[in-house]
Amino acid sequence: MAAAARMDLDGNPILPMTICMIGAGGFIGSHLCEKLMAETPHTVLAVDVYSDKIKHLLDPPSAEGQQARHPWDGRIQFHRLNIKHDSRLEGLIKMSDLTINLAAICTPADYNTRPLDTIYSNFIDALPVVRYCSENNKRLIHFSTCEVYGKTIGSFLPKDHPLRKEPEFYVLKEDASPCIFGSIEKQRWSYACAKQLIERLIYAEGAENGLEFTIVRPFNWIGPRMDFIPGIDGPSEGVPRVLACFSNNLLRREPLKLVDGGQSQRTFVYIKDAIEAVLLMIENPARANGHIFNVGNPNNEVTVKQLAEIMTQVYSKVSGEAPLEMPTLDVSSKEFYGEGYDDSDKRIPDMTIINKQLGWNPKTSLWDLLESTLTYQHRTYAEAIRRAMAKPVASS
């Protein structure tokens, strides 16, 4: 008996499509590829310079004595290319119904130490993708960042001002909140500014040339396969995002470093919840086109200090190791990130638009997403140590 046709949110059948996914080999891309292979009939042209995190989707499964095949065999193709300088990119976009751009430099330490690379990667390198989609009438889903909001209005009020507790002074709304950055010498804002400018360009392409687009603003997506061990499962240089920093400290039995006391507030959402939202955008273009969507979980709001405390508890449960006697260490932002660092006080997403358009709400609690992530990281780290110890030592 034939499988029932999959329907969109308006009751229309979902037709198979070809998706050009730029940055498919990264954390988000790997989970999105998995979802598309397991649950849809769509084909993915996976574009990246690395394929380690989607290797399990590309390589044939091992089966004794016979040629095994994945159920999605032939529906995912890996194209190793750098979008900065490869003429093949336009051809892949032309072959596709939809392009998803995940490519970015998004490591906070780089915003200070590599501001030019940060601006080029997040604005200049994205320009051809937008142009090719617009010129060839192809739909685009572009991944931006919650950092485009910058600082909250409330952060400019005195610390004890009662209005700081009012939601309109800190909850971030796609269609209403201003984007407030620090001064030019605070190079930490190079990333947010580049991301905001490419958003404005995409929006202008939609207004003037009819580009069909959706912009995604992720709020700290967390889960297995996020980069967390410098030189092993991530870049060998630089300082990663807060949860990856804390994971690395826990794995190495080091105190978790709290920048300026860890008073900044953040929300965290589980990668599998977030990918559900992206699939809704992919398969409901009539509801997603022309919109900017916050994708986060306002129920999982904590200070960075509270995050450190919870992660210490979760890791102790996962690893069976007792926490350190002094689990945290206070450091200044200048000491940790260098000159020119600045930060936003809160990043709490308003969920009205995504809930209205796509009916999406996140489900996973902070404890559960941390347990899933740290279990994976603990296992991966142990395997990396075993491999390193098993390598033969060269004789002198």
Encoded amino acid at 67, one letter:
Q
- List, for residues 17-27, the tens digit of each pLDDT value: 999 999 999 99
Name the nearest CA neighbour of 29 among 49, 8, 59. Answer: 49
Please report the pLDDT score of residue 113 as a whole number: 77
Token pair 């997506």 in the structure block, residue: 221
Whether 113 and 68 have beta carbons less than 8 Å apart is answered as no
Please report the pLDDT score of residue 104 as a whole number: 83
Is 238 exposed, middle or buried, given 0-12, 13-18 or 19+ CB atoms closer than 10 A?
A: middle
Whether 140 and 212 have beta carbons less than 8 Å apart is answered as yes
Buried b (16+ CB within 10 A) or exposed e, 311-330: bbebbbebbeeeebeebbee
- List, for residues 265-314, the tens digit of each pLDDT value: 889 999 999 999 999 999 999 999 999 999 999 999 999 999 999 999 99
Cα dihedral angle (267, 270, 271, 274), rounded to 10 degrees?
-70
Please report the pLDDT score of residue 341 as a whole number: 62
Please report the pLDDT score of residue 357 as a whole number: 98
Could you give the residue numbers annotated as active site?
A: 191
Instruction: Return d(Cα 26, Cα 29) in angstroms, integer.
Output: 5
**Helix residue spans in 53-126 (DSSP H):** 55-58, 88-95, 108-113, 115-122
Please report the pLDDT score of residue 52 as a whole number: 92
Please report the pLDDT score of residue 2 as a whole number: 45
Please report the pLDDT score of residue 42 as a whole number: 97
- In this prediction, the residues of the chain whose per-residue pLDDT falls under 50 are 1-2, 231-239, 395-396
Please report the pLDDT score of residue 110 as a whole number: 75
Please report the pLDDT score of residue 1 as a whole number: 41
**What is the three-class DSSP state of 242?**
helix
Please report the pLDDT score of residue 344 as a whole number: 67
